Structure 1
Amino acid sequence: MVQSVDKREPAVGEDLVSGRQRRRSLRASTIGQLLEWYEWSSYAVFAPFIAAAMFNQSDPASALLSTLAVFAVGFLVRPLGGVVFGALSDRKGRKKVMITTMVMMALASVAIGLMPSYETIGLGASIGLLLIRMIQGFAHGGESATANSYIPEIAPRQKRGQWGSLVYVAIFGGSVIAYVLGGIISLVLAESQVAEWGWRIPFILGAFGAVFALYLRRGMHESEIFDEKNDEAAVKPVALSTPVKGGVAGQGAGARNPRPRWVSILLIIGMVSGVTAAHYTWSSYVSTYAITQEGMSIQGAYWVTVVAQVIGLVALPLWGRLSDRVGRKPVIYFFAIAMGVLQIPLMAMITDEPWTLLVASTIALVIVAASGSLLSSIMSEVFPTSQRTQSIGLAYSVSVAGFGGTAPYVYQLFVSIDLAWLSGALVVVLCLLTLVAMKLLPETKGVDLRAV
């Protein structure tokens, strides 16, 4: 059990950064993440059109699989970005890394928008797309790791779950913007125009949003928790087998955690696995499935997905606030059990009628929101400040790369050989893994990050 803690913020934190400055930094961080996730999600939204433009169309099914494989490769590079930028963040600060990753994502997005098609340069288009997505994945790994450290560190202790939920609000929000724009583009333009050049619009627009986000992030304040730790001593890398203070075992301040850090990393990987598999199934793949397998109209699939994601987005801070009252464990348990039971039935109810996708996606995404809202707070409460970002970068990115980014590809692969139920079964198994991992992790609600 985690010992009871005083809900007052430490005086030193209040002296360094005022409440108003914290909220300004929170907005800057969240808006930047929102735009990065919009750029990232645009690829999934326009996957069928990118497949037609960047791969050999002699086999359309193979082209779609290739596009989803490139989507997955972007995730496979994320652990490297999480480790590299995580180490930089723990040494040089959160703010510098978040500005750098913002620039990299924006440049990569513009490059996708301007990339010549397969018809123009042949295989070079496919290779170029792969390389650009690898750059995006590298930057995204660093951005996600740093944001998952930064926001909990600047949050009031008694509201950390609610503030930390904004990391996932940005994920849902970026996807919503991408789907809204996709719906508008497909409404205004003929399908042939979307296939020829319309799909490029979201990637180019991302550059303009990035300029605004960079302006906001320049005014962000560095995490005072990082500054305090950095002032105490130079941050040095700690071996994965080295025990660290507090956090994982729920010990009091100054106690030694009997679990090695690599065990904590493995538990976080397991805890995130079901969350990320369910999230990417229901936010990135399900509309493609409805269009390509069930014959749903593009407009219908896009707009009902937007509605479902908006409802899920609204639920996120409510789940986060609930966790600040009842604890992290009960909320994660609800997700794992509910998603494990409903994953296969919800996918089975989708037909060519948009309302079926609306009902299934809304239920699924509200359940996913329960777990997604807590990832940032739980991960930050497990790892110590001196290694927080690099630990999160490794654990979170490995789990998302292995179980989330690959979900659309795996689902489509099994669908193509008439074994779609296996993909649903995999999500169920991963939800069970989330349940077990969360059972082994401590309840960390209200823990003082300075003592972790």
Structure 2
Amino acid sequence: MSATITSTSPVNDPATTRKAMLGLGLGNTLEWYDWMLFGLVSAYIGPHFFPSHDPVAATLSALAVFAVGFAVRPLGGVLLGTVADRIGRRTVMLLSVTLMAVTTLVIAVTPTYDSIGVWSGVILLVCRLVQGISTGIEAPLSTAYAVEVTPKGREARAAGYISFYVNLGILLASLVSFFVSLAVGGATMQDWGWRIPFVVGAVMGVVVLYLRRSLPETLHESERAEGSASTVWRGVGKHWLALVAMIFVVGAAQAYNYAWTVGLPNLARSTFKEDPTGVFAASTALGVVMIVGSLVTGWLADRAKLSRTFIVTRLLAVPSVFLMLLYTEPGLGGLVSVLLGGSVVLVLNMTLYNLVATSLMPKHSRATGVALGYGIGVALFGGTASYVMIWLQSQNATWVFPTYTAVLSLISVVLYLAVRRSTGTYAGE
């Protein structure tokens, strides 16, 4: 099956394409607002949903639930990716937004451990599992869809566009948390104010779901009829080395990403007892760099070969991730310096990694293959990053985490080059 877009495809109409990309992009904003919000307020959620004798232990419990959500991302890729390759992209992208919005509302209203005991933690866990399934397909499928509706030669710009909306969601999570904390104060934020940003996310979901209904389908009826689940999976199996490469391409970028966006802010609040409003302000500044940098990176990457750009930016991550070793004691100045100092290399990697993964899989099995590789990579290396980083810091072995991330980055480059030599690439060049 080859799901090519013909000249009569509705996605070739500029107005339709712009509307589709808006709905696509804002869906990513919602997904990542809701997803990152949990990580940002884990230090508040932990004591409310788990026994709170030790604040650090309660935070680690909440981060463990955060990590569990990543564990089911491969399941989301397997189930929903196959549906997207067989039935269509649009249906799956509507479903992912619905799942995220509903579970975010549930988290906002779930009673605490003191009210209903262990059931509060169980409800929280179930919500994160469902959100993991949702995000397991959203990011890879969105990039694949954007590539399919974008003229050849502008794929990196499309990836930058999607990354812009992803980072907009992350920025909004920090920004909303910052303003809520500023408005209600640290004590109230700890008590119940952390619920307000979740309510905001649920309301956003209704708006985004309406907008996303206008997405055109890029997989034609005839193309769906020609394929089968076995055809899709044979394509994935044929490109097994590409699948392995995707795991490390995604995993290295996400280990870096979650260390900066979740691990360091939670380290600041739970271990170094930094002022929460100041921490949210620092996270917001990082979000601004990421959101602007996404568009710039996509624009620049279309002027160079994707392979060369990926290799250079990924190798730059090796020294950059060691900047985290500079934040070893309380002080917002140190946190801000590390977050912003590593932000430029971070945005380069986070803008391109999904496009690189998409380029390694042919279209007829792209949604399944990329979603599976993405899900495994994020589950193994991204979802565990913040937990591992804070745990290593508590064991006085902070240096291990940047070393680990640097090794992942080097492995991803080696595997990417191996795939290019064996099966080649299918987009972005």
TM-score of the aligned structures, taking structure 1 as reference length: 0.88
What is residue 231 of structure 2 aligned with on the other side?
Answer: 238
What is residue 273 of structure 1 aligned with on the other side?
Answer: 251
What is residue 29 of structure 1 aligned with on the other side?
Answer: 24
Could you tell me how far apart the structure 2 residues matched to 1:11 and 1:104 are? 32
Q: Which blocks of at least 5 consecutive residues in structure 2 are unaligned?
A: none
What are the equivalent positions in structure 2 for 1:18-417 lying under 5 Å apart?
18-223=13-218, 226-227=219-220, 230=223, 233-238=226-231, 242=234, 260-349=238-327, 351-417=329-395
Q: Give the C-alpha shift of residue 407 in structure 1.
A: 0.3
Describe the SS at the equivalent of 2:7. helix
State which of 430, 443, 447 in structure 1 corresponds to 2:408.
430
Contact in 2 for aligned 1:148/1:392 (Cα 8 Å): no
TM-score of the aligned structures, taking structure 2 as reference length: 0.93
Contact in 1 for aligned 2:167/2:291 (Cα 8 Å): yes
Q: Which blocks of at least 5 consecutive residues in structure 1 are unaligned?
A: 1-8, 245-258
Letter of the 2:254 counterpart: T
Q: Which whole-Å deviations, capped at 9, do the CAs of 1:311-346 have from their partners, x for residues lacking one?
A: 122111222222212111222222322221121234
Contact in 2 for aligned 1:55/1:66 (Cα 8 Å): yes
| Number of residue pairs matched by the alignment | 425
Contact in 1 for aligned 2:323/2:342 (Cα 8 Å): no
- CA, structure 1 residues 229+294, in 2 after alignment: closer, same or farther (shift >3 Å)? farther
Q: Percent of aligned positions with the same letter in both sequences? A: 26
Describe the SS at the equivalent of 1:326. coil
Could you tell me how far apart the structure 1 residues matched to 2:395 and 2:186 are? 28
Could you tell me how far apart the structure 1 residues matched to 2:8 and 2:333 are? 49
Q: Give the C-alpha shift of residue 236 in structure 1.
A: 3.8
Could you tell me how far apart the structure 2 residues matched to 1:114 and 1:262 are? 43
- CA, structure 1 residues 228+380, in 2 after alignment: closer, same or farther (shift >3 Å)? farther
Contact in 2 for aligned 1:304/1:355 (Cα 8 Å): no
Could you tell me how far apart the structure 2 residues matched to 1:15 and 1:98 are? 18
Q: Which whole-Å deviations, capped at 9, do the CAs of 1:76-98 have from their partners, x for residues lacking one?
A: 01110111000111111111101
Larger CA deviation: 203-212 vs 398-407: 203-212
Letter of the 2:117 counterpart: G
Could you tell me how far apart the structure 1 residues matched to 2:105 and 2:11 are? 38
Letter of the 1:410 counterpart: V
Q: Give the C-alpha shift of residue 366 in structure 1.
A: 1.7
Letter of the 1:108 counterpart: T
- CA, structure 1 residues 344+162, in 2 after alignment: closer, same or farther (shift >3 Å)? same
CA RMSD of aligned residues (A): 2.4
Q: Which whole-Å deviations, capped at 9, do the CAs of 1:236-276 have from their partners, x for residues lacking one?
A: 42375x468xxxxxxxxxxxxxx932111011112222111
Could you tell me how far apart the structure 2 residues matched to 1:388 and 1:123 are? 40
